[in-house]
């Protein structure tokens, strides 16, 4: 034999790893396949040395004992506290506090006597997921571009319960969801001071080893009321003044799902953020795998009465958006394996496009971005890439499903561009900006052509403020980046904002920037030219 057996095992393993890393278009999935290959190769080599090599018996036994002792020592000293977005284990000192031990206790008082003026609005409000227009942008705020001369000013920093939610901000008050022990909470903070004004909790805990603990969606604030969806599928309507419940719906019970069925189909917890349209609060619905299933449901925003159900697809981790396309008002939603549009008055499907995915595997997470008068942009990770398509009245050629009153026509598709895994895109002056497998990327909207790709931020989040991007990395570093198609050094500033894995969306009201992850929240005041 040209090489010893163990060398052949290493060669085969190396070839397998190279093929996986080359052919798999999603880095996380590539890493997920690579770890088992390496572990299996190491195990086979160890068995060969211990039982089949020509070394003396005492040498082989000493090798086996040493390997077992090293493995035991490793697991004695370290534990794995979940995975990064690229499926890399997060190692922690085993004798340090576990993630659950770091969660602050539930508040002793709910703040039921509070009088928070959430019914009053301002031009700088950020009242829902992804901002006032649900398009990952903030307008009317001009920021200083030099963070050396004008660094962000930290106003407050709080320990916070676990979860991957963002904040909604109205009239100087910020609302989010968080996990504290066995209690899932909707909480309201003073934007200037960080003081907890009120909280509403109920007994529920969602915990997965890969995706972590706690709720995943962002509340919506509308006409003094707070609407929130917990990770276990409970929809709340709360009085924004004091957090008192006005009504609630158990979505699993409403749509005939057991907790086990829900876990099998939505492994990482409900993440769809509520959308307010007219007198309705609209949320992804779901249902048992063998039916009946509904893509979307609308409840009366004041009473919680179910108004309609529409579609027949399983839920994804995306959220609905409202727009007028091809002259027709509609609600657009990314489902498990399609993108669908629904009539706001009835829930009837207007059009539907295939968009492959399995919610508990290669999930759809990113929003569909309506682009009036007649286009929609969509992107996803797990090798999905980006697509732009047009909505038209009557028949259209190209890929479409014969559903509803409108047709769709694909303009372009780029499987290797804008692979947004946990994040969303923002569109500015004909260009799309987003984190593609953790790398900031700029595409030309009309053609799908990549303009540039630069900077490794991991699976973090972004927010556009006029012609600037705030980029929050997966490790909690905050960057100020110019939103420009020019291929020049466009990073204007950088600070360390948070510690630990950060997957949460940013929120901004005027110059106040709110950031959080699964353990802390921080508010920065960003400098503006007038200051």
Looking at residue 451, its pLDDT comes to 96
**Last residue of one domain, picked from the residues 58, 79, 100:** 79
Looking at residue 400, its pLDDT comes to 44
Whether residues 200 and 252 fall in one domain: yes
- Helix, strand or coil for residue 22? helix
Looking at residue 97, its pLDDT comes to 79
8 A C-beta contact, residue 527 and residue 491? no
Helix (H) or strand (E) holding 50: helix 27-51
> What is the average pLDDT score of the chain?
92
Looking at residue 43, its pLDDT comes to 85
pLDDT: is 193 or 23 the higher one?
193
Whether residues 169 and 75 fall in one domain: no
Whether residues 126 and 66 fall in one domain: no
Whether residues 182 and 52 fall in one domain: no
8 A C-beta contact, residue 135 and residue 502? no
Domain that holds residue 447: 112-525
- Residues sharing a CB contact under 8 Å with residue 54, sequence separation 6 or more, in sequence order: none
Q: Is the peptide bond before 373 cis (omega within 30 degrees of 0)?
A: yes
- Helix, strand or coil for residue 475? coil
Looking at residue 309, its pLDDT comes to 97
Looking at residue 6, its pLDDT comes to 81
Looking at residue 351, its pLDDT comes to 96
Whether residues 168 and 26 fall in one domain: no
Whether residues 290 and 416 fall in one domain: yes
Looking at residue 45, its pLDDT comes to 85
Looking at residue 29, its pLDDT comes to 81
- Which residues share a beta bridge with 175? 168, 188
Measured N-to-C along each axis, helices 27-51 and 5-23 cross at an angle, to the nearest 10 degrees, of 170
Specify if 418 maps to a domain. yes
Query: Could you tell me which of 377, 245, 252, 226 has the C-alpha nearest to residue 315?
Result: 252
Distances (CA, A) of 50 to 13, 64, 69, 247, 363: 20, 6, 15, 65, 42
Whether residues 165 and 21 fall in one domain: no
Looking at residue 194, its pLDDT comes to 97
Helix (H) or strand (E) holding 76: helix 57-77
Residue 187, pLDDT above cutoff 80 = yes
Specify if 235 maps to a domain. yes
Q: What is the total count of domains within the chain?
A: 2
- CA–CA distance, 223 with 241 (Å, rounded to integer): 11
Specify if 388 maps to a domain. yes
- 310-323 residue pLDDT tens: 999 999 999 999 99
For residue 428, what is the DSSP state? E
Specify if 89 maps to a domain. no
Whether residues 135 and 19 fall in one domain: no
- CA–CA distance, 216 with 136 (Å, rounded to integer): 17
> Tokens for 335?
């489902």
Q: What CATH code is carried by the domain that includes residue 247?
A: 2.130.10.10
Q: State the pairing for strand pair 461-465/450-456.
A: unpaired
Specify if 269 maps to a domain. yes
Looking at residue 27, its pLDDT comes to 83
Whether residues 124 and 263 fall in one domain: yes
- 511-520 residue pLDDT tens: 999 999 999 9
> Tokens for 114?
């509070």
pTM: 0.92
Sheet strands (E) in 36-139: 78-83, 89-93, 137-138
Question: What is the average pLDDT across 123-131?
Answer: 97
Question: What is the average pLDDT across 398-407?
Answer: 56
Whether residues 325 and 417 fall in one domain: yes
Edge-to-edge strands of the sheet including 196-203? 168-170, 173-180, 183-190, 196-203
Q: How many residues does the chain have?
A: 531
**Last residue of one domain, picked from the residues 62, 79, 96:** 79
For residue 336, what is the DSSP state? S
Specify if 103 maps to a domain. no
- Mean pLDDT is lowest, of 35-44, 275-284, 445-454, for 35-44
Looking at residue 398, its pLDDT comes to 41
The burial class, CB within 10 Å (0-12 / 13-18 / 19+), for 306 is middle
Looking at residue 93, its pLDDT comes to 86
Specify if 88 maps to a domain. no
8 A C-beta contact, residue 462 and residue 418? no
Specify if 403 maps to a domain. yes
Residue 397, pLDDT above cutoff 50 = no
> Tokens for 412?
């372009």
Whether residues 23 and 149 fall in one domain: no
Whether residues 58 and 141 fall in one domain: no
């Amino acid at each position: 034999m040209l090489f010893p057996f163990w060398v052949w095992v290493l060669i085969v393993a190396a070839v397998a790893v190279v093929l996986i890393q080359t052919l798999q278009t999603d880095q996380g999935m590539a890493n997920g396949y690579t770890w088992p290959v390496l572990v299996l190769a190491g195990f086979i080599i160890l068995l060969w040395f211990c039982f089949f090599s020509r070394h003396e018996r005492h040498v082989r036994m000493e090798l086996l004992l040493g390997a077992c002792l090293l493995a035991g020592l490793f697991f004695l000293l370290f534990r794995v506290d979940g995975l990064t977005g690229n499926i890399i284990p997060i190692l922690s000192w085993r004798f340090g506090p576990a993630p659950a031990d770091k969660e602050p206790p539930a508040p002793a008082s709910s703040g039921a006597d509070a009088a928070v003026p959430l019914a009053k609005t301002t031009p700088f409000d950020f009242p829902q997921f992804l901002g006032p227009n649900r398009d990952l942008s903030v307008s009317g705020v001009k920021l200083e571009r030099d963070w050396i001369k004008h660094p962000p000013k930290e106003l407050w920093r709080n320990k916070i319960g676990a979860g991957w939610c963002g904040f909604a901000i109205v009239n100087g008050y910020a609302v989010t969801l968080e996990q504290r022990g066995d209690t899932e909470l909707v909480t309201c903070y003073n934007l200037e001071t960080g003081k907890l004004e009120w909280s509403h909790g109920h007994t529920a805990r969602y915990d997965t080893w890969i995706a972590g603990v706690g709720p995943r969606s962002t509340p919506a604030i509308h006409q003094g009321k707070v609407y929130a969806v917990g990770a276990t599928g409970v929809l709340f309507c709360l009085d924004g003044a004091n957090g008192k419940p006005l009504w609630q719906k158990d979505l699993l019970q409403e749509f005939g799902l057991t907790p086990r069925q829900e876990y099998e189909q939505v492994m990482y917890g409900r993440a769809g953020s509520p959308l307010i349209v007219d007198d309705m609060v609209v949320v992804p619905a779901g249902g048992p795998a063998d039916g009946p299933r509904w893509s979307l449901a609308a409840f009366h925003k004041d009473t919680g009465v179910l108004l309609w159900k529409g579609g027949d697809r399983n839920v994804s981790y995306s959220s609905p958006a409202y727009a007028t396309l091809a002259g027709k008002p509609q609600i657009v939603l990314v489902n498990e394996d399609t993108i669908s549009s629904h009539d706001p008055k009835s829930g009837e499907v207007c059009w539907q496009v295939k968009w492959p995915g399995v919610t508990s595997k290669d999930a759809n997470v990113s929003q569909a971005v309506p682009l009036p008068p007649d286009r929609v942009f969509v992107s996803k990770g797990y090798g999905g890439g980006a697509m732009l398509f047009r909505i038209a009245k009557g028949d259209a050629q190209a890929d479409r499903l014969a559903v509803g009153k409108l047709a769709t026509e694909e303009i372009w598709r780029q499987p290797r561009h804008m692979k947004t895994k946990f994040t969303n895109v923002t569109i500015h002056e004909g260009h799309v900006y987003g984190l593609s497998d953790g790398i900031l990327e700029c595409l030309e909207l009309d053609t799908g052509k990549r303009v540039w790709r630069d900077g490794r931020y991991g699976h973090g989040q972004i927010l556009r403020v006029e012609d600037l991007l705030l980029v929050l990395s997966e490790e909690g570093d905050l960057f100020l980046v110019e939103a420009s198609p020019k291929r020049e050094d466009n990073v204007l500033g950088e600070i360390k904002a948070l510690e630990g894995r950060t997957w949460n969306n940013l929120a901004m009201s005027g110059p106040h920037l709110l950031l959080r992850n699964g353990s802390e929240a921080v508010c920065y005041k960003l400098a503006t030219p007038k200051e």
